[in-house]
Chain A
């Protein structure tokens, strides 16, 4: 049984302008100890998928209209909110994109970690403080005895993200959802944070769902990649397979547009056009308006095509491997 399994998840937003089908049939799974990368352009539904798992979608306007989220066999979509609160922060933790705003400015970092521990673990305050200090030490914060009593504004962005990680991991979650944890940080800090996550994963054996739009990060840290386009599945594959033999025209376009794959001096290839507004997604395959391979058949929903072990693509015209990639 996988740790987390999304089955045909659909999260829609009901606005005055119309229904936004932000997530419309997303299915993938995360095993214990595995890192799954979720990639796609801005607005492809990565974050909404992540927020849906813990039911953090603002309701209204958002609502999970269909599908299942199976976590250790339990369906989180239909779980009562009181039971869900025991899952949140305890067996599933989340790290957000903006370390600058993800800590509450009025409490010391110690208070915030300690409160989270007290909420889920049956320990007294002194023990919680010890655990918090221990976590801060683990995430590489220097002089944790001193930092623990400081306020978020006294820490740098990288430090804050480390504190967030310490808080997220303080209850030893089974699954960590990291929503672009390094986007707001500079490159050297990015590398440190990713290294830290890997190391803590090895220690605690948790599954990680890493949301990113950085294919470099994906290549370095993930075991498996899920490619989303317009809230639908495009392709899922083991990381090495994806980089060697992507078959969805969109994935291929993404890989072609990596700077290190283009010959020096040439213009970087891009995917023509823009992601359509979620209000104006085309019927059938949502990528067809930008796809070089599109045919009239693409007006129907694309079928799931198995390409190999753990490698599937949702496309009417799956491309041969290495189509155009160097």
Chain B
């Protein structure tokens, strides 16, 4: 029983997550796609910095220097949609805390494993807390800013001979308010992809559409993964009558063609917001994770560690959700990646068929609008955006699926 004491401290074996990460990194295409997705996310977060008709800096004659752009980020009259307000809060938090947080995250790598996990969990919680705080402050702040149309105001002031300092983002157009006399403009330097029938810049709406698509994808998938995981876990763990009921429920849902179900449910909701759409998508898609998790539970529930957990005296919910569930999540997360892609496609389909949320610049909405015009950019641009996003997500999903498969280890 005498073994050489203390191994060298550097020889820490990689954890399962580290292994997956290394394996994923060896797949060049998947890694590239992940960077692409990261780029898309940054594009969505920093969309107002690229495109806004509010000047970043504004000064009339010798008046005070102000930033209407910064104020507009929290203007609930301008950004009417919850999605945009959320991303704007994200923009503020990422800009202020992003770099220090990334630095702290990397630095945590030098800590021993237990402390590292705790440190990173605290960082994550802190980030979420900061985001919620920003959103809360925004909700509490008074909203009484006049809606100025700055480019028009600037032209008017300059015509009067008043010098104006105005710095606009690269695309000085609103994603929401069109300029009617510029409707259906051909692509030009001012409007790289032209404008739509309401005179709104297509490229700007495309950029803001990334926010809608990513939100739909991530939220709808989180929602249905949660539902599916809980139901699948209960079915797999308890078996018997619980399993019977949940299985029949799954069968009822999957035997109706999902697109028809989605469309008919959507048709009954007046004033559909994108939150309705997420819920509808989740309501038909939860069966996939439910079946995956059920199968994984059937595989794990008879293993000794589950009996050991019961023998230690853990209550049933701890055994289901803290002991078995983490073991079943690998395949679920892979299917979630594909799920995000398919949720984006579903939303586009709904919007294209006119059953989406007409108040948001979604890509499917733009496709539908473009269909009625003869302008090819109006169809090709959103189509290309959908294609790229869905492809990136599928490539990343493929990469993760291969990375967690020990038979494909490189």
Interfacial residues, chain A to chain B (CB-CB below 8 A): 51, 54, 56, 60, 85-90, 93-94, 96-98, 101-108, 110, 116, 119-120, 140, 142-143, 146, 149-151, 153-154, 164, 167, 192
Interchain CA distance A53-B313 in the complex, whole Å? 13
Inter-subunit contact B313/A85 (CB<8 Å): yes
Q: Does B161 contact A (CB under 8 A)?
A: no
A-chain residues with CB within 8 Å of residue B5 when the two chains form the complex: 142-143
Inter-subunit contact B326/A106 (CB<8 Å): yes
Kindly specify which of B67-75, B299-307, B373-381 makes contact with the partner chain: B299-307
Inter-subunit contact A88/B114 (CB<8 Å): no
B-chain residues with CB within 8 Å of residue A86 when the two chains form the complex: 313
Interface string of B272-307 (1 = CB under 8 A from A): 000000000000000000000000000000011101
Interchain CA distance A264-B112 in the complex, whole Å? 58
Inter-subunit contact B7/A143 (CB<8 Å): yes
Inter-subunit contact B308/A146 (CB<8 Å): no
| Chain B proximity of A85: nearest CB distance (Å) | 4
In the complex, which residue of chain B has the Cβ closest to the Cβ of A103? Answer: B305
Interchain CA distance A56-B302 in the complex, whole Å? 11
Interchain CA distance A140-B3 in the complex, whole Å? 10
Q: Indicate which residue in B1, B4, B310, B312 contacts A192 across the interface (CB closer than 8 Å).
A: B1
Q: Does B15 contact A (CB under 8 A)?
A: yes
Inter-subunit contact A164/B313 (CB<8 Å): no
Interchain CA distance A149-B112 in the complex, whole Å? 8
Q: Among residues 101 to 123 in chain B, which have CB atoms less than 8 Å away from a CB atom of chain A?
A: 112-114
Q: Does B35 contact A (CB under 8 A)?
A: no
Inter-subunit contact B114/A108 (CB<8 Å): yes
Interface string of B231-255 (1 = CB under 8 A from A): 0000000001000000000000000
Q: How many A-B residue pairs have CB under 8 A?
A: 82
Contacts A103-B305, A151-B16: A140 and B312 contacting too (C-beta < 8 A)? no
In the complex, which residue of chain B has the Cβ closest to the Cβ of A164? Answer: B308
Inter-subunit contact B6/A146 (CB<8 Å): yes
B-chain residues with CB within 8 Å of residue A93 when the two chains form the complex: 311-312
Inter-subunit contact B114/A102 (CB<8 Å): no
Contacts A119-B313, A154-B13: A149 and B303 contacting too (C-beta < 8 A)? no
Q: Does B162 contact A (CB under 8 A)?
A: no
B-chain residues with CB within 8 Å of residue A167 when the two chains form the complex: 308, 312
Inter-subunit contact B313/A146 (CB<8 Å): no
What are 6 of the A-B contact pairs (CB < 8 Å)?
Answer: A56-B307, A101-B304, A102-B305, A105-B16, A142-B6, A143-B7
A-chain residues with CB within 8 Å of residue B304 when the two chains form the complex: 96-98, 101-102
Q: Does B314 contact A (CB under 8 A)?
A: yes
| Chain A proximity of B67: nearest CB distance (Å) | 47
Interchain CA distance A96-B304 in the complex, whole Å? 7
Inter-subunit contact A140/B305 (CB<8 Å): no
B-chain residues with CB within 8 Å of residue A110 when the two chains form the complex: 114
Contacts A119-B314, A150-B13: A94 and B113 contacting too (C-beta < 8 A)? no
B-chain residues with CB within 8 Å of residue A153 when the two chains form the complex: 16
Interface string of B1-22 (1 = CB under 8 A from A): 1011111010001011000000
Inter-subunit contact B305/A104 (CB<8 Å): yes
| Chain B proximity of A93: nearest CB distance (Å) | 7
Q: Indicate which residue in B312, B315, B327 contacts A116 across the interface (CB closer than 8 Å).
A: B312
A-chain residues with CB within 8 Å of residue B312 when the two chains form the complex: 88-89, 93, 116, 119, 167
Inter-subunit contact B6/A89 (CB<8 Å): no
Interchain CA distance A120-B4 in the complex, whole Å? 34
Inter-subunit contact B307/A146 (CB<8 Å): no
8 smallest A-B Cβ distances: which pairs? Answer: A88-B313, A89-B312, A102-B304, A89-B313, A94-B311, A142-B3, A106-B326, A85-B313
Q: Does B309 contact A (CB under 8 A)?
A: yes
In the complex, which residue of chain B has the Cβ closest to the Cβ of A96? Answer: B304
Q: Indicate which residue in B3, B15, B112 contacts A151 across the interface (CB closer than 8 Å).
A: B15
Q: Does B323 contact A (CB under 8 A)?
A: yes
Inter-subunit contact A105/B327 (CB<8 Å): yes
In the complex, which residue of chain B has the Cβ closest to the Cβ of A114? Answer: B114
Interchain CA distance A151-B312 in the complex, whole Å? 19
In the complex, which residue of chain B has the Cβ closest to the Cβ of A106? Answer: B326
Q: Indicate which residue in A90, A146, A150 contacts B9 across the interface (CB closer than 8 Å).
A: A146
Inter-subunit contact A96/B307 (CB<8 Å): yes
Inter-subunit contact B1/A120 (CB<8 Å): no
A-chain residues with CB within 8 Å of residue B308 when the two chains form the complex: 94, 96, 102-103, 164, 167
Inter-subunit contact A85/B305 (CB<8 Å): no
Inter-subunit contact A54/B311 (CB<8 Å): yes
B-chain residues with CB within 8 Å of residue A119 when the two chains form the complex: 312-314
Interchain CA distance A43-B307 in the complex, whole Å? 19
Q: Indicate which residue in A51, A101, A107 contacts B303 across the interface (CB closer than 8 Å).
A: A101
In the complex, which residue of chain B has the Cβ closest to the Cβ of A148? Answer: B114
A-chain residues with CB within 8 Å of residue B303 when the two chains form the complex: 101
Q: Among residues 308 to 357 in chain B, which have CB atoms less than 8 Å away from a CB atom of chain A?
A: 308-315, 323, 326-327
| Chain B proximity of A222: nearest CB distance (Å) | 22
